[in-house]
Structure 1
Amino acid sequence: MIDELVRVGFSSQEARVYVALLRQPSATGYELAKVAGLQRANVYQVLATLVERDIAEQVTDTPARFLAKPPAHVLGRIKQDTAQRCDSLIVDLAALARPAEPTAFWSLRGRESVLERAGALVSDARERVAICLWADDLDWLGTPLRAAARSGCQVVVNVFGDVPVDFGEVYRHEAPAKTVGGHLLTLAVDSTTALIASLDEPAAAVYTEHPALLRVVEKLIRDEAYLAAIYERLRPELEDAFGLHLVELRSKLLPAEQASALMSVVGFGADAATVEELNPFE
């Protein structure tokens, strides 16, 4: 009991004297000193403090005798005072606190970790899923994407490769063999979380709830959908202007190594002079 009283605001000596008073009502300081195991001079100092705090009262003068106030009275007041003090501190400290900065991102290493996190994000979606992925990725992500669509989520799918997709709003892009930059997957869920993954070995990803990074990922996925829709509608005119698979335009915006790879995969081959002509950044 002594330790518990100390935890609610008594000093060790105050707690011992209060417990002694409860055991021996109307005791003198001398009697309390023996019961509490304290020096008599210390007991009188403690009694003065207890009286001042309305924890005890002096009932006679000669000799001076004391009574403990009932525990319900003493501890009830301490409880009320503590609650009021805590309520006041909540208000005061809340006024001082600054909003926490959102964590920029979390890293994932290894294919299994990336697949597990991407699948979990899609499965937890409540309103909207937007994704760019390769056709092969539907082998492991198709089921949760389909379930999200059936639950009422808007599902926007940019798929690289020719594969049947029976859910969502589908935007088709060239086969992975016609792309450069590796096996990438981008995902945005409910406008709250985004994931960017490289599924080439060693597979790795980052996911984020940071508003600025989330908007970048959402815009990237949205622009891929725009491009696919425009290319499907205006393919002849666009290829007249920018070459097969828009190779001339794309090469100007790629590093030389990727520009060379792009022209190889679309059937042009590549040489240094062509790459240098198409890539003004080198």
Structure 2
Amino acid sequence: MIDELVRVGFSSQEARVYVAALRQPSATGYELAKLAGLQRANVYQVLASLTERGVVEQVGDAPARFLAQPPAQVLGRIKHETARRCDALVADLAALSGPAQPTAFWSLKGRESVIERAGALVADAHDRVAVCLWADDLDWLGAPLRAAARSGCHVVVNVFGDVPVDFGEVYRHEPPAKTVGGHLLTLAVDSTTALIASLDEPAAAVHTEHPALLRVVEKLIRDEAYLAAIYDQLRPQLEETFGPHLVDLRSRLLPAEQASALLSVVGFGAGAPVVEELLPPE
């Protein structure tokens, strides 16, 4: 507790005296010095500081006794004052750096960094969240997305895999085992910020507010939703024309190595000319 109080602005001696005052209400300075393990000469200076800050209150004169203020009141005031100072600093420091540059983007390395940033972006959303993710990603992003939907945000979820989703506008895609290109996640929030992540190890991401990149990400997510909705309604006709899982069409547009991987995961559903073109000669 002492270390935590020091982290929010108490000196080590102030923290020890405050804890002692909580443990022994209406104690004298001598009693608090003994309980806190301080020299008696030092404790009165500490008590004067705590009294001035409203952390303890003197409740007697002969001898002087001290009563600790409730922790919720003391720490609540510190929390409010700290938030106010931080808000003021944000404005002051932003003024120093000038207007934000549209080319700005930030690189993230490591799965935990990606998870933390994606969750924070969704938690700060006001109007709209759109995302493409794998079913497993809902284990960590599901709760923030659900909270955003409950707060009134329009939430669009493209999910790869069969998993229950009880919030937002949901578009379902093939399971991850049927996809190629790796474990990708794309996220757009409030038409102001986007995150593009690769969650295969080593996991990494780019977070950007660049208008052009943001529009590309939003269009990608919309197109995934369009495809899922069209495929859901017209699957027989589409697979008759383009093969199971649209393998004829998809394999023509993928790099050769990814096209070969696609053929393997969908069971060689492409037509013979496509297969012959992609497979290496014997």
Classify the secondary structure of the residue corresponding to 1:237.
helix
Label 1:102 to 1:276 Cα distance change in 2 as closer, same or farther (>3 A). farther
**Are the equivalent residues in 2 in contact too, given 1:192–1:209 (CA < 8 A)?**
yes
Q: Aligned partner of 1:103: which letter?
A: T
**What displacement does 1:269 show?**
8.1
**What displacement does 1:275 show?**
4.5
Label 1:265 to 1:134 Cα distance change in 2 as closer, same or farther (>3 A). same
Classify the secondary structure of the residue corresponding to 1:206.
strand
1:119 paired residue number? 119
State the distance in 2 between where 1:275 and 1:201 align: 30
1:170 paired residue number? 170
| Residues 251-270 of structure 1 mapped to structure 2, 5 A cutoff | 251-268=251-268
Label 1:267 to 1:214 Cα distance change in 2 as closer, same or farther (>3 A). same
Which ranges in structure 2 are unaligned for 5 or more consecutive residues? 1-97
TM-score for the superposition, normalised by structure 2? 0.61
Label 1:99 to 1:122 Cα distance change in 2 as closer, same or farther (>3 A). closer
| Residues 7-156 of structure 1 mapped to structure 2, 5 A cutoff | 101-156=101-156
Q: Deviations over 1:172-210 (max 9, x none)?
A: 000000000000000000000000000000000001001
Which ranges in structure 1 are unaligned for 5 or more consecutive residues? 1-97
Look at both structures and tell me which one has the larger radius of gyration over its CA atoms. Answer: 1
State the distance in 1 between where 2:104 and 2:276 align: 37
State the distance in 2 between where 1:277 and 1:263 align: 12
State the distance in 2 between where 1:273 and 1:238 align: 18
State the distance in 2 between where 1:139 and 1:99 align: 37
State the distance in 2 between where 1:236 and 1:103 align: 44
**What displacement does 1:278 show?**
5.9
**Are the equivalent residues in 2 in contact too, given 1:248–1:278 (CA < 8 A)?**
no
| Percent identity of equivalent pairs | 87
CA RMSD of superposed structures (Å): 2.2
State the distance in 2 between where 1:104 and 1:241 align: 43
**Are the equivalent residues in 2 in contact too, given 1:256–1:276 (CA < 8 A)?**
no
TM-score for the superposition, normalised by structure 1? 0.61
Q: Aligned partner of 2:116: which letter?
A: E
**Are the equivalent residues in 1 in contact too, given 2:135–2:162 (CA < 8 A)?**
yes
State the distance in 1 between where 2:106 and 2:100 align: 16
